[in-house]
Amino acid sequence: MEKLWIAVFIPLLLATGTQQANNATEVYSWASLDYDWPNASMKADYEKSGKFVVNNNIIVGIKLYHDEVYVTAPRWYSGVPSTLNRIIMKGGKPVLQPYPSWEMHEVGQCSVLQYVQSMEIDPNTGFMWIIDNGRTNILDKTPQNLCPPKLIVYDMVGKKEVRRFVFPSDVAGPTSCFLNDIVLDYVDGCVSYVYITDTLDVKLYVYDVSKNEAYFFAHPTMWTEPPGSGFAINGIAISADFSYVYYSPVDGLGLFQIPTSVLRNKNANFGQHVRRVGDRPTRGDGLTYGQHNLYNGLLDESGVQRWLVSHDAEQTGFDKVVIKTQEAVVRDDVKMQWVDTFAWDQRGNLWFTANDLKRFFNGSMDFTGAHGPNIYVWKVFVNESSYLAKAVGSPAPSQCPVDKAVNHQEVASHICLFTLLVCLFISILEPM
């Protein structure tokens, strides 16, 4: 009887092909990354010319759309062939397929993507909001500051760009910026503001979608704790009612709250309204908000933690809420080293990347696979959905600010045409 049970159960376990740890599912893992090359000679060319240096490739950002997984490969050092990718299976192995195309990843060509750390995908519109640093090799001795930073909104369904905003140099420093993470702020059923953290210039950018302009706030709560070396403001999350933004530095325990009513007003007094809501158990990288809880990755206890914000706000209201009730979601000392960025699917799962950046940065990562995988994509069922899941009311607005053209090229070509017509008209009127 026992033997029969084992005979049935063991193959069943193996057949699932995925591994469980604390109820989390290991969806993908890699010792080293590879890409979806059109052919072997292109890969060989890239390797020979230094455009692909395998040990400089790691995964950070992650988002999902219609069950497809999109990830970023940061251009911190040279040799990262494509910075924004979709995960596909090729020869039984997960590889990175440049998104939306190989052509969009040419280093030094400012019209295409240079270095994307993060993006957000709006499940309501299928628009991907991509932050591109413009700079590459930014953690190397000689960063390449070839292009200005920009925000691109890409329609994943219509396969076309719907908005492009190049940051002016007095807002985002083109030789010093590190646009790290992004959240979307809905007003009246439309994405109206975008908030972006800058980990090196230590700022919080606001992009006003209808005005097509950006500004920033800077404050000591965005610095490392204690101030000095390490990584500053990075993780950012927004509550599902779009009332509060939360952020924290990587190197520091503090979690801070700022009302969106402050961020939406470029002349607001940030320092008067920002509030420390408490400490995370350890330093951490990414943050995300579901419908009621705030999730954060732990760098020194290897796993994911959850703060029950709605629960703790029952007594105090959200404007005075402090961290009281925290719990572990998942922990794994081997396979969840440096939980980086979070994503949501539409089945109640929280997804995240773990990339062991301590070893990546100190040069002790073993890319041969002899010590197992280094980079993981995990999912864990938490029975919540993204902060964006219920952002659009009913009926949905027919047009949003992002859909309205602010296409300067179009305006310019209209002026050209108008001038041409005026000249033609004058020349017709003017007798010979």
**d(C-alpha 327, C-alpha 319), whole Å:** 22
Residues 352-391 that bind ligand NAG (CB under 6 A): 358-359, 362, 364, 383
In the complex, the smallest distance separating the C-beta of residue 254 from ligand NAG, rounded to whole angstroms, is: 22
Which CB atom, from 101 or from 269, has the smaller least distance to ligand NAG? 101
By beta-carbon proximity to ligand NAG, the closer residue of 112 and 268 is 112
Element (DSSP H or E) covering residue 235: strand 233-238
In contact, 295 and 329? CB cutoff 8 Å: yes
Distance (Å, rounded) from C-alpha 395 to C-alpha 188?
11
Whether residue 141 contacts residue 158, with contact meaning beta carbons closer than 8 Å, is answered with no
Q: Could you tell me the smallest distance in angstroms from the CB atom of residue 329 to ligand NAG?
A: 7
Distance in angstroms (rounded) separating the CA atoms of residues 40 and 344: 34
Tell me the three-class secondary structure of 20-87, residue by residue: EECCEEEEEEECCCCECCCCHHHHHHHHHHCCCCHHHCCCCCEEEECCEEEEECCCCCCCCCCCEEEE
Shortest spacing between CB 73 and ligand NAG, in angstroms: 19
Q: Which stretch binds ligand NAG (CB under 6 A): 38-46, 178-186, 191-199, 416-424?
A: 38-46
In the shown chain, the binding pattern of residues 264 to 303 toward ligand NAG, with x for contact by CB under 6 A and - for none, equals: ----------------------------------------
Candidates 7, 9, 13, 23; binder of ligand NAG (CB under 6 A) is 23
Going by their DSSP bridges, the two strands 24-30 and 375-381 should be labelled as: antiparallel
CB 356 to ligand NAG: min, Å? 8
- Quick one: 111 or 364, whose CB is closer to ligand NAG? 364
Q: Please identify, using beta-carbon distances, which residue of 23 and 261 lies nearer to ligand NAG.
A: 23
The residues in 154-193 that bind ligand NAG, with binding defined as CB under 6 A, are: none
How far apart are the C-alpha atoms of 394 and 169, rounded to whole Å? Answer: 40
- From candidates 21, 27, 31, 42, binder to ligand NAG by CB under 6 A: 42
Contacts of 271 (CB under 8 A, 6+ apart): 219
Beta bridge partners of 163: 153
Cβ 330 to ligand NAG shortest distance, Å: 6
Q: Could you tell me the smallest distance in angstroms from the CB atom of residue 23 to ligand NAG? A: 4
The secondary structure of residue 144, as a DSSP letter, is: B
Distances (CA, A) of 64 to 102, 156, 281, 358, 387: 20, 12, 28, 26, 14
The minimum distance between CB 48 and ligand NAG, in angstroms, equals 14
Decide: is 326 part of the binding site for ligand NAG (CB under 6 A): no
Q: Which of 3, 6, 41, 317 is the binder for ligand NAG (CB under 6 A)?
A: 41
Sign of the CA dihedral 27, 355, 278, 218?
Answer: negative
Helix and strand tally (H, E) in the chain?
7, 25
**Least separation in angstroms between CB 344 and ligand NAG:** 15
**Contacts (CB under 6 A) with ligand NAG, residues 44-73:** none
Q: Which of 22, 29, 212, 243 binds ligand NAG (CB under 6 A)?
A: 22
Q: Which is nearer to ligand NAG, 320 or 358 (CB)?
A: 358
By the rule CB under 6 A, 39 interacts with ligand NAG: yes
In angstroms, what is the minimal distance from the CB of 358 to ligand NAG? 4
Which residue lies nearer to ligand NAG by CB, 223 or 376? 376
Instruction: State the number of binding residues for ligand NAG (CB under 6 A).
Output: 11
Amino acid letter, residue 174: P
| CB-CB neighbours of 311 under 10 Å | 13
Residue 151 or 336 with smaller CB distance to ligand NAG:
336
Tokens linked to 31: 């010792």
Minimum CB distance to ligand NAG, residue 383 (Å):
4
162 vs 169: CA distance, rounded Å:
23
Please give the residue ranges that form the binding site for ligand NAG (CB under 6 A).
22-23, 38-39, 41-42, 358-359, 362, 364, 383
